[in-house]
Each structure stands twice: as structure tokens, then as C-alpha cells.
Chain A
Amino acid sequence: MTAPLEDITPAERARGTSFYEASARTRLELLLDAGSFIEFIGPEQREVSPHLKIFDLPEQFDDGIVVGRGRLDGSPVFVAAQEGRFMGGAFGEVHGAKLTGLLRAAREIGSIPVLILFDTGGVRLQEANAGELAIAEIMRAVMEARSVGVKVIGLIGGKSGCYGGGGLIAGCCSALAVSEPGRIAVSGPEVIETNRGVEEFDSRDRSLVWRTMGGKHRRLLGAADVFADDNVQDFREAALELLGLVGPFGLDKLKAEQERLADRLRRLSTCFDAVDIWTAEGIAHAETVPELPADQFIALADRIGRISRDAR
């Protein structure tokens, strides 16, 4: 027998809801303490893109991003969630400004962390200049918030992954959690193939795409600090764990991050494929990593995977 709906706790609902499949609004509803979310600049304010109508394209009332505040285990957090199904979750002028404003508010207050639920292909091509400017403003806003002690956590597990400028912003965050279907990169598979040829990267080879950009690889490399199973409750627990782990930020951290990345390049730049990297990192039977279920992978990553906790 299935339990009646009213007997299901919020945590059970969150555990049973795929982060990948859920909308931005559902993710926030289930990620935060029940009923705690308050939206800023909600859809009823109709702050839509000023550019899309020029191209005769449909608008969305929230311009594809939901921002606001809520509580996580009782503590206040600022949140932003991109809707990956609206224009690939891409950054336009209004979309970007909502995130910049949220980060600046967090900087002014200084003590409330920010969770960014990325789900984006990058900059919206129809408003490219405004979108590129938005990426630069957001990156600056993330670093300014962090420099006054605000923790900025990225959660990545959506349909559109975290690409383009989204990948750059993710690289500026204090820490990241990622699930297997979440992908993190700057240039996407098709972009690489278009620019460098199919010999360089075959975008139709889904296995190649996932083992190069997917969550497991990013976790093993230390780009993401926590691996979450694909449900909203796991991301909630990952966010709480990361908020507890992130330490103070300053120039020393940035230097350590630079050294971490330089070291990674020294050690692994001759590897041809992600499997070679995993083997070099000491994983036996590295070719089986893509098939590992989440719990076994997390155990492996905790044993072998690198972290950026002392850096970033």
C-alpha cells in the first residue's frame, strides 16, 4: 500500500523527488525548510527580458530564475534557482541582474550564506552582450560576498548542467555539490566539436560527454566537494554539509587554489581520457566508475577523490 499523501513528510517527498527532473520552484520548495521560502521579484512583478520580444520569442515572468530567502535547518539562507527548461536556463540581462542583486544583498548583510542552484547552458545568445556583462558582474559579486565572509555554495544537478558563464561562476563559489547527471564545464560538447573537430571531441558520444564533464569526474578531480544522489533531499544534506565545511576566505585561499590547479595540470595533462586520470589517481578498474551506484561511488570518492577545501 502506498501511504496517503498527507502522511508523507517533507523529507520523504524530497527524497523521492529527482533533482534533475524537478522544476526550479519545486527544487527550492523541497530543498528549504517547509514553507520558509519567500521570493524576491516574483513572477507577478513581470520583470521580463527586454530583449526577447525583439526576436519575437516568448518571455517567462521570472526570466528563468527564482531568487529569494528561506531557511535551511532553521538558519536563514539566500537562494537562487535557474529554470533549465526555459531557454536552457541561460543568463540574460534580467536573469543575471536578479542573481547579482541577491549576491550584493548577501554581501551587505555579511552573515547569510547563498545557495545557487545552477541549471544553465551559459549566456542567452539573443542578449549576448547583456548576458556576458551579467556573468562578469555575478563573478565579481560572488568574490565580493566571499571576501566579507559570505559562503556561496553551488548545487549542480539539472538538465542543462552548468556550462558557459555558469561554469565560470561555479568556479568562483566557495564549494560545489554535484550529482551524476549534473555536468560542469565552460565549452559544451557541441561547442568543442564545432571549433576543434570531431576527432577532438565527439559530442554524440554520450559516455565521453559524461565521463569528461559529468558529476562523478568533477567530484574525483576535486572541482566538486560533495557528490549527491539525484534527489532533492540529498542536495539539501549536501548543502548543509558544505555550509559546515567552508572555512574563511582570503588571498591565501586563492593562492592555494592556484597551486591546486597548477598541480593538477602538472600531474594529469598527459592523460588522454578521464579513465586515464582516474587510473592515475589510484582507482583500480577505473573503467567501472561510470556504472557505480551513488553509495559505492561516494565511498570511493571519499577514499580517493580530491577536495578543494583548503583551496578555492
Chain B
Amino acid sequence: MEGLKFAHSVRTRAGGTRQSAIVGVVASGNLEVLVERVLPDAECAIDIKTAAVGFGEVWTAVVGDFVERYSPGGLRFSINDGGARPDTVSLRLAQAVRSIAENGQ
């Protein structure tokens, strides 16, 4: 297992009022993303635990692209990864933002 942590400054706060959401499942080639609204509006954190060791550069690129595209201010993402491909990771991150952007608990 390998742990990776990313922290980004972002322009805007993520929409919606939900406090947390979870998408995906930990399986081969898949991952789960737990997203929580726990940070100041201009911050975003992504903590990753992955079964695939040695892909730090790919994660840096995928996470950077995601933060740039969605500006998920105020959100902390916690990822358990079972060795998903970068496109699956991008999809799950986008799903997580969309889920927490809904209104509700």
C-alpha cells in the first residue's frame, strides 16, 4: 500500500449543502471516494491510500486536472484505491463532487 496526500488552494467553494457523500467501491480496478465538507472555502485536500505502488506522478496529474476543472473548495476527499485506471479515478472524483453538490444532509 502507498499513501499520498495532496492539498490545493482553490478559487471557489463547492456548491450544495450536503456534508458528505460516498461513491464507488474498493475492488480490482475500482476505488471509493469519501468526500466531506470540512475545510475552509479556499482549500481542498485529497488523501489517497492505494494498492498500486509507484504511481505518484500519475496521481499528481489526475488530481491537479480535477482540482483545476471543478474547483472543489471546502472539500476533503478520502480515497481507498484498488488499482483503478486514471480515467476511472477522474470519473469517481467527478461523481463525488456531483453527489455532495446536491442539497440535503
Which one, B34, B36, B51, contacts A58 given CB within 8 A?
Answer: B51
Q: How far is the CB of B1 from chain A (nearest CB, A)?
A: 5
Known: A43-B34, A44-B34, A44-B36. A59 touches B22 (CB 8 A): no
Q: Which B residues have a C-beta under 8 Å from some C-beta of A?
A: 1, 20, 22, 25-27, 30, 32, 34, 36, 49-51, 78, 80-82
Which residues from A are CB-within-8-Å of B80? 58-61
Q: Which DSSP category, helix, strand, loop or mixed, fits chain A's interface?
A: loop
The answer to whether B51 touches A86 (Cβ under 8 A) is: no
How many angstroms from the CA of A202 to the CA of B20 in the assembled complex? 46
The 8 Å CB contact of B1, one of A23, A25, A56, A83, is: A56
B22 contacts A43, C-beta separation under 8 Å: yes
B residues less than 8 Å from A43 (CB atoms): 20, 22, 32, 34
Residues of A within 8 A of B (CB): 23, 25, 42-44, 46, 53, 56-62, 83, 85-86
Do B25 and A83 touch across chains, with their CB atoms under 8 A apart? Answer: yes
- State in angstroms the CA–CA spacing of A258 and B1 once bound together: 49
A-B contacts, 19 of them at CB < 8 A, read A43-B20, A43-B22, A43-B34, A44-B20, A44-B22, A57-B1, A57-B51, A58-B1, A58-B51, A58-B80, A58-B82, A59-B26, A59-B49, A61-B22, A61-B32, A61-B78, A85-B27, A86-B25, A86-B26
Are B32 and A53 touching (Cβ within 8 A)? no
Contact (Cβ within 8 A) A58 B81: yes
16 further A-B contacts with Cβ under 8 Å, apart from A53-B1, A58-B51, A61-B34, are: A42-B22, A43-B22, A43-B32, A43-B34, A44-B20, A44-B34, A44-B36, A57-B1, A58-B50, A58-B81, A59-B49, A60-B26, A62-B22, A85-B25, A86-B26, A86-B27
Min C-beta distance of B85 to chain A, whole Å: 16
Query: What 7 pairs between A and B have smallest CB-CB spacing?
Result: A60-B26, A85-B27, A43-B22, A85-B25, A58-B51, A44-B20, A58-B26
Is the pair A60, B1 in contact by a Cβ cutoff of 8 Å? Answer: no
A86–B1 CA distance with the chains assembled, in angstroms: 17
Q: Which of B1, B26, B51, B80 has the most chain A CB within a 10 Å cutoff? A: B26
A43 to B25, CA, bound (A): 12
Which residues of chain B are near A25, meaning CB under 8 Å? 22
Q: Give the distance in Å from the alpha carbon of A60 to the alpha carbon of B23 in the complex.
A: 11
Nearest chain B CB to A94's CB is how many angstroms away? 14
